[in-house]
Amino acid sequence: MHKKSTLIEIEERFNKDVARFSNLNTGQATMLDAAFNMELITDCINQIYPNLSSVLDIGCGAGNYDVKLLMQVKSNPNVHLLDLSQPMLDKAKERIDPMTTGEVKTFKGDFRTTKLEEDSYDVIIATAVLHHLRDDHDWETAFRKLHSLLKPGGSIWIFDLIQQENEILQEIIYRQRYGNFLTQLKDEDYRDQVFEYIEQEDSPRSLVYQLQLLERVGFQQVDLLHKNLCMASFVASKSTRT
């Protein structure tokens, strides 16, 4: 197994990729059904929270999800943006500032260690970010922190890379079928490049692992939204009881 990238190495890669992550039509192209999931998640948030007042987007990139959400909501929520990459944050803030009269605030750093106010967000968006977590303790600590940041009745919306528990299924779904998708997206060299940086940077967990962990740390109403091969979107809510 390769030694995993440090946060600084991940930051440096994303600093160079702002333009690609600003495409609202494709989202992150290597993520299966990226545009579909962006539409699905933001539509659901809009309908469930008609008076949305506060959003935290961790690993916000260039702010696509927030732009898409603000195109739909009638309220003017506060939008807090967190990312390792300052160029990503700058682009996200530039795009989002004109779309809400609420506070648009940026946080540069790792959500696990960034000081954020507990019980303060209606919604947390976490897309293509949690796969950077490492061991089981890291995953549980991160999920507990995310739970603590939500208001009662708040929810976290996740879209990410997942893996299969069964090694043969992992080979079929990830290496073969997702590999074919990447090849068709560009070519075999591109497929190999994507597989290489996933191996270098990411530590995905299975969908079942994550859904069970969300419940274990206190989330309720855990729901699967969409799964296609090695990508899935899902949501979990915090109890309305304080």
- The count of other CB atoms within 10 Å of the CB of residue 4 is 14
Mean per-residue pLDDT for 21-31? 65
Task: Give pLDDT, residue 19.
Answer: 53
- Please provide the distance, in angstroms rounded to a whole number, between the alpha carbons at the two ends of the chain: 44
Taking 90 as the threshold, does the pLDDT of residue 242 lie above it? no
Quote the CA–CA distance of 148 and 113 in Å, as a whole number. 13
- Among residues 156, 127, 123, 154, the alpha carbon closest in space to that of 55 is found at 123
Mean per-residue pLDDT for 29-40? 93
The DSSP secondary-structure symbol of 105 reads E
Taking 70 as the threshold, does the pLDDT of residue 4 lie above it? no
- Among residues 63, 81, 56, 80, the alpha carbon closest in space to that of 27 is found at 63
CATH architecture classification, 7-164+205-237: 3-Layer(aba) Sandwich (3.40)
**Taking all residues of the chain, what is their mean pLDDT, rounded to a whole number?**
91
pLDDT band at 17 (very low <50, low <70, confident <90, very high): low
The DSSP secondary-structure symbol of 163 reads B
